[in-house]
A and B are shown apart, each in its own frame.
Chain A
Amino acid sequence: MKCEEVRKRMLETIEKGEIEPEISLHLQKCEACSKAFEEYKDLFNLLETEQEPSLEKVRSPQYLVSLRERIDASERGWLFGYPKPGFVVTLASVVVLALLLLNLSNFSDRFPYVASYTSPAVMQYVERPSSIYLGAEEELAYLLSEVEVQEDEGLPQLLSTSETNSLLQAEELLSSEVSLPALLEDLSEEEIEMLSQTIENLMSVFPSKENGVKRC
């Protein structure tokens, strides 16, 4: 049996708790597979030691009382039947953000209603001539490649740790299957404003074509 096949069946083997003779034979001969097998086995043992939280609160009568109240509130329905306060602002911000990521220009002329909900600083970014700058996604990809290089070299220079974390989170958000409206639904106006500010700050550290981007 080849290493590849053994690796494919390793987790299944550990879960079953029984090692098939041909896998056992391979593990005796192959040090690398044997080491990996032991590490996975240790990992599963370690996971077994995890303590679950107490179920006291979920078993209490108060849990059912509170649930009943929530169900009653949902039946009254204002929260579910109608847009939440601030929804329009949220929606406007989502649209602006989407466009910001697409780096479209002349935004406020084309969408004056939505633009009126957005901070002038963000609009300045949205409206800057796209020909001069890298696209937002391209800029993000470039910075992420910088982050990877820095991680490999262990010398974070271009970005601070918090900026690196933000970018990694941004990358995950951008690749998220959940739509931005779903993500933003519960954010307050203040948080939306903070988001605009954060994106603006991030964008300001992005190297642009104008300043000459050094590619790795």
Chain B
Amino acid sequence: MLVERYRERIYLLVWRMVRNREDALDLSQEVFVKAYKNLKSFRHESNFYTWLYRIAVNLSLNFTKREKFRSFLSLSDLSDRFTSGSSPSEDLERDQLSGLIDRAVMKLPEKQRAVFILRHYEELSIREVAELLGRSEGTIKANYYQAIKKLRESLKPHVEGEE
């Protein structure tokens, strides 16, 4: 019941963090497995969705760090994963501009990426993001500002082209 209720939202959150459909599918299931195993530790201090969010964000961050590590081992460019990792149909389905946004988001440092996604896409308030990530509101504000600034730099040619 809970899985049916939250699976789409959790999948989208994880996809935004890892930008690869197959990985997101796998990780979203891992979120529910972990939640199921740790249900006893859920203390009702936050709502259930916030708790699930925290698990999803942490698993996604650990996943991308591991991928960076693997990429480090093979001396390859990590951003390749987020273009070649998609299936051809996925490439066709999502336009070129979305691909550029994927790359720009994946270039953000982990903390900033998490803050940006929670704030921008999930529309959580600064206070909620701070609570979820266990950091101060000031830190979250600074991370969010830095993330936007970096995205603006990364996407500058496309931003300037927009009228």
Q: Which residues of A contact B (CB under 8 A)?
A: 11, 39-40, 42-43, 45-47, 49-55, 57-59, 63-64, 66-67, 70-71, 74, 80, 162-163, 165-166, 169-170, 172-173, 176-178, 182-184, 186-187, 191, 194-195, 198
A186 contacts B66, CB within 8 Å? yes
| A43 contacts across to B, CB distance below 8 A | 148, 151-152, 155, 159
A-B contact pairs, 27 of them (CB 8 A): A39-B159, A39-B160, A40-B148, A40-B152, A43-B151, A45-B162, A46-B159, A50-B97, A50-B101, A53-B94, A54-B21, A55-B8, A59-B7, A67-B3, A71-B32, A71-B36, A162-B75, A165-B75, A169-B71, A173-B68, A173-B69, A178-B62, A182-B65, A183-B65, A184-B69, A191-B73, A194-B73
Alpha-carbon distance A55/B156, docked complex (angstroms): 30
Min C-beta distance of B17 to chain A, whole Å = 13
Q: How many residues of B contact A (CB 8 A)?
A: 54
| A11 contacts across to B, CB distance below 8 A | 144-145, 148
B61 contacts A178, CB within 8 Å? yes
Q: Name the residue among B32, B69, B101 with the largest chain A CB count within 10 angstroms.
A: B69
Provided the pairs A39-B159, A46-B97, A49-B97 are in contact, do residues A169 and B145 lie with their beta carbons within 8 angstroms? no
Alpha-carbon distance A53/B155, docked complex (angstroms): 21
B69 contacts A71, CB within 8 Å? no
B68 contacts A172, CB within 8 Å? yes
B55 at the interface (CB under 8 A from A): no
Q: Lowest 5 CB-CB distances: which A-B pairs, in order?
A: A42-B162, A58-B11, A42-B159, A169-B72, A162-B75
Residue of A nearest to B21 (CB): A53
| A-contact bits for B143-154, CB 8 A (1 contact / 0 none) | 011001001100
Alpha-carbon distance A173/B69, docked complex (angstroms): 8
| B72 contacts across to A, CB distance below 8 A | 166, 169-170, 173, 195, 198
Min C-beta distance of B60 to chain A, whole Å = 12
Question: What 10 additional pairs, Cβ within 8 angstroms, besides A162-B75, A183-B66?
Answer: A53-B12, A53-B24, A55-B8, A57-B21, A58-B8, A58-B28, A63-B25, A70-B33, A170-B72, A187-B66
A165 contacts B77, CB within 8 Å? yes
B37 at the interface (CB under 8 A from A): yes
Alpha-carbon distance A46/B99, docked complex (angstroms): 12
B74 contacts A194, CB within 8 Å? yes
